[in-house]
């Protein structure tokens, strides 16, 4: 299993300063003074690189953004107030009434509700597919399709997509692919696999300690020559491509979403997120190793465990070939009924019951009665939410302690 050596060096070296305060400086200011009207004019026309106003960018947040952009091989990044903020920013900057979304796999409850309920009120239609419905996905793409959207790991259905193949379909059709990589930072590099934008809830494993809500979107560079963003499907991009060249996708999101909708990150959260980034490779490596040990032991003890590291999982082969660094901190236990699930959750002494994932502590939650309570039976079935389903997020504890606690809790 990979120890993310490259990132171990990169993160601590880029978060810490080599002069003055070692820890990143928190710039707690909403606005910034311009020394002269000429400088103000320059800041607003982009010729002077100084902070304009914290909704549009903050120096502490800018540091986080540059590290995140580098992490994913993007040209630039925008940090947001939450993971849903990043999803909304990426999508709303590209959509108009009458457009369509192809949503593949997953799907995180908030994203499902955004697509199915909120965006449909604005005249945007979403078609939902399982990760392996390649033919149906290809056929559903039409002239109104502006976005294809994919989660790197189904949360909580644990199905794994063939990201490369889906990116190929999107690229051949000339449609943007956004990948929600919240669960698999470092393990999966969406832009290298052919996606256009990767998005994160940094609230989860990137922060890791439940201290800061945040999100981030990382953008690829627009090509100098041919680029699907220069086709008529994205005619609204033309002025940004003319003005900002390879940065166009990023500038469009900044103007269309951050400026106009205001899901901006705050400096304190950006600071805390950077502290999390410093140790992300170490935590992720330990957690993905522990997870395989815990999932196997619980499976062998007779519990109904869903994780692709198990031979019984339909995407086990894909896990071995495409997810060599694991697929994050999650697995699920199906206890068969709500009553049995509640007994387990009342019996566990180790797990913290919360809606978060990717934390330093092991977390557990009954799905149907919490995050998915507002969804009808058909939607729950599509998303893989059975009555006895518990989602587990493995933490940094000794895996033997987790195994022993869960076995006693399931009796
Ligand atoms: C939590 C989560 C989000 C939303 O992030 P928030 O920071 O809670 O807004 C989006 N996608 C996935 C996969 C998540 O787990």
Q: Delineate the domains of the chain, giving CATH numbers in brackets.
A: 3-269 (3.40.640.10), 280-409 (3.90.1150.10)
What is the per-residue pLDDT for 119?
97
- Calculate mean pLDDT across residues 158-177: 97
Q: Is the CB of 110 under 6 A from ligand 1?
A: yes
Atom 11, ligand 1: residue with shortest CA distance: 108
Q: Is the CB of 203 under 6 A from ligand 1?
A: yes
CB 17 within 8 A of CB 77: no
Q: Is the CB of 105 under 6 A from ligand 1?
A: no
CB 215 within 8 A of CB 251: no
Strands (E), 134-195: 145-151, 176-180
CB 74 within 8 A of CB 280: no
Nearest to 265 by CA among 221, 200, 186, 190: 200
Q: Is the CB of 88 under 6 A from ligand 1?
A: no
Judge if the upstream peptide bond of residue 156 is cis by omega within 30 degrees of 0.
yes
Which atom of ligand 1 is nearest the CA belonging to 358?
A: 15
Helix %, strand %, coil % for the chain, to 5? Answer: 45, 15, 45
The Cα 235–Cα 174 span in angstroms is: 13
Q: Is the CB of 180 under 6 A from ligand 1?
A: yes
The Cα 335–Cα 123 span in angstroms is: 40
| pLDDT tens string 90-134 | 999 999 999 999 999 988 889 999 999 999 999 999 999 999 999
| pLDDT tens string 141-154 | 999 999 999 999 99
Nearest to 396 by CA among 296, 276, 273, 312: 276
| pLDDT tens string 283-325 | 999 999 999 999 999 999 999 999 999 999 999 999 999 999 9
Which residues share a beta bridge with 104? 129, 150
């Amino acid at each position: 299993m990979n120890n993310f050596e490259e990132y171990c060096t990169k993160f601590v070296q880029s978060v810490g300063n080599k002069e003055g305060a070692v820890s990143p400086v928190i710039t707690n200011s909403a606005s910034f003074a311009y020394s002269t009207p000429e400088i103000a004019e320059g800041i607003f026309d982009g010729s002077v690189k100084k902070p304009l106003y914290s909704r549009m960018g903050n120096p502490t947040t800018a540091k986080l953004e540059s590290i995140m952009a580098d992490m994913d091989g993007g040209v630039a990044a925008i940090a947001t107030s939450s993971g849903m903020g990043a999803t909304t920013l990426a999508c709303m900057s590209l959509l108009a009434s009458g457009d369509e979304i192809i949503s593949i796999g997953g799907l995180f409850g908030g994203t499902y509700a955004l697509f199915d309920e909120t965006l449909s009120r604005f005249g945007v239609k979403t078609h939902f597919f399982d990760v392996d419905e390649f033919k149906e996905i290809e056929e559903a793409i039409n002239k109104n399709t502006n976005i294809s959207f994919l989660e790197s790991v189904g949360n909580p259905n644990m199905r794994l997509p063939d990201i490369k193949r889906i990116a190929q379909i999107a690229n051949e059709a000339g449609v943007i692919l956004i990948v929600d990589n919240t669960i698999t930072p470092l393990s999966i590099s969406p832009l290298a696999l052919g996606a256009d934008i990767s998005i994160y809830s940094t609230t989860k494993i990137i922060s890791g300690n439940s201290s800061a809500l945040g999100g981030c979107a990382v953008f690829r560079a627009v090509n100098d020559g041919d680029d699907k963003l220069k086709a008529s499907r994205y005619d609204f991009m033309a002025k940004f491509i003319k003005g900002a060249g390879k940065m166009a996708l990023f500038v469009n999101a900044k103007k269309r979403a951050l400026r106009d909708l205001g899901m901006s990150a705050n400096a304190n959260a950006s600071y805390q997120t950077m502290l999390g980034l410093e140790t992300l490779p170490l935590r992720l490596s330990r957690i993905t190793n522990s997870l395989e040990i815990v999932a196997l032991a619980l499976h062998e003890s007779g519990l109904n465990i869903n994780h692709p590291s198990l031979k019984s999982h339909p995407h086990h082969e894909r896990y071995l070939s495409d997810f060599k660094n694991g697929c994050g901190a999650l697995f699920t236990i199906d206890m068969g009924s709500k009553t049995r699930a509640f007994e387990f959750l009342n019996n566990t002494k180790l797990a913290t019951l919360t809606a978060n994932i990717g934390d330093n502590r092991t977390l557990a939650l009954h799905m149907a009665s919490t995050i998915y309570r507002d969804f009808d039976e058909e939607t729950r079935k599509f998303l893989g939410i059975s009555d006895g389903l518990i989602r587990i997020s493995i933490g940094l504890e000794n895996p033997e302690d987790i195994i022993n606690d869960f076995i006693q809790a399931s009796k």
